[in-house]
Amino acid sequence: MIGVRDDTATMACPVCGDAFRAEGRQRFCSTGCRRQRGVRTAGRPSRRS
């Protein structure tokens, strides 16, 4: 991979393992994966759907 010094970096999603560009503090490829991970890690979800 090409190392680019920028705010964005390519990383693998810890949930689905798909590669994506993480912007800022983003750790997941999509909101869906973010929520799936959050359900397991977060002790107290802020809201329910």
Report the distance separating Cα 46 and Cα 7, nearest Å: 28
Read off the tokens for 16.
């689905």
CB-wise, 18 or 45, nearer to Zn ion? 18
Q: Select 31 or 45, whichever has its Cβ closest to Zn ion.
A: 31
Interface residue with Zn ion, options 16, 36, 37, 38 (CB under 5 A): 16
Q: What distance in Å separates the CA atoms of residue 16 and residue 27, rounded to the nearest whole number?
A: 12
- Indicate which single residue of 2, 15, 37, 40 sits in contact with Zn ion (rule: CB under 5 A): 15
Measured CA to CA, the distance from residue 41 to residue 15 in angstroms comes to 12
Point out which residues bind Zn ion (CB under 5 A).
13, 15-16, 18, 29, 33
